Amino acid sequence: MEITGIEFSGEAELPTSTTFDNTPFGGLSGIAYDDKNDQYYAISDDRSDRAPARFYTLKLNLRDGQLTQNGIQPVAVTFLTDKSGKNLTPGTIDGEGIALSDRNSIYISSEGDVAAKINPFIKEFSLTTGQEISTLPIPEKFLPSADGTRGVRNNLAFEALTITPNQRYLYTATENALLQDGAEAKPGSTIPCRILEFNLTTQQAAKEFLYVTDPVNSRFARVTGKYANGIPDLLALDNQGHFLSIERAFTGIGFTIQLFQVSLEGATDISKIDSLKSVDINQIQPVQKKLLLDLRQTGVFLDNIEGLTLGPRLSNGQPTLILVSDNNFQNLQRTQVLAFKLQVKTQPLIELLRRIRNF
């Protein structure tokens, strides 16, 4: 799917004081759309501290593709449990990404906790009961080493999660560079992140690709001394390696949120490369990127946008896009949902037939 245009079509929000079914509502770090039931599932990154680890079922009122301030409604909460049916122990999960499968299940990615020696994970849970079903094996290079020289950085691990429409592949990405791949994000610098592909038929990691973030310059970072930049989410648009990505930068005063179109075409498989510092990175072909939208152009005061999903198609067949923010359970923030209408390029008939044959 090639997106040729994007149109902002509204905002909805809920304050951090919102509660639902005796839980503090918020921390929404990822979102997935269920087109069969016209509802959304959003993972909360509450580490079972304020209430048991959970995901919410949401309804959005998208009239003619327009979203209004009161257009978001939580309708259910489902607690995540281990295989024995017990709520997850506080601190053992930092749920960041969510992807809906066609097996009445969801996949959840967790960043783990490097300081507490809790590894990141990607697990499958029942959509109806929240009980754990299976765990995907994470390649060794992503796991934090005891000496602190390898693996994901703390709170900069697997935020992104998406499944291709044909349900064959699941993708995640490191929010920032692995310790052995490069330095943490700095103002004006790029970051070598990794996209990790899983084959859901074999339940094994398959390929990895280099994703280089855009540099973000900010005079505020020099004043506040705060800066963070990375990939909070990916969205598979088709089965041919086309995605949307979010790049989010925080400078201590506001957020810079950018949407990119991403293609794996021609990208080097770097799964055999343990450390990008040990090779000539200029010989590696990264994924292709094209800026779709800098969200500051919407004129909306942006919160901490972390998740995205395709929404329902409109009566004219036009697809919609939904983004959601993580309020960090902070009173100065809020749960923000943004809606967009997408214009897409129609595939020529011959190309469409070729892809059907290769499906």
User: What does the pLDDT read at residue 356?
Assistant: 47
CATH of span 3-357: 2.115.10
Answer positive or negative: Cα dihedral of 204, 90, 324, 158: negative
d(CA 58, CA 170): 23
End-to-end distance of the chain based on CA atoms, in angstroms? 15
User: What does the pLDDT read at residue 222?
Assistant: 59
d(CA 252, CA 221): 7
pTM, rounded to two decimals: 0.94
Residue of 316, 262, 309 lying closest to 290 (CA atoms):
262
User: What does the pLDDT read at residue 349?
Assistant: 41
Q: In which element (H, E) is residue 224 found?
A: helix 219-224
User: What does the pLDDT read at residue 350?
Assistant: 40
Residue of 163, 169, 170, 45 lying closest to 96 (CA atoms):
45
pLDDT along the chain (359 residues), means of 10: 94 97 98 97 97 98 89 97 97 97 98 95 98 98 96 96 98 97 88 97 98 83 69 97 95 88 98 97 97 96 96 94 97 96 72 47
d(CA 131, CA 342): 35
- What are the extents of the domains in the chain? 3-357
User: What does the pLDDT read at residue 250?
Assistant: 85
Q: Are strands 334-344 and 66-79 parallel, antiparallel or unpaired?
A: unpaired
Q: DSSP secondary-structure letter at 22? A: T
Place of tokens 């692995």: 178
Structure tokens at 221: 């970072």
Report CA-CA distances (Å) from 189 to 186, 215, 230, 304. 5, 5, 11, 21
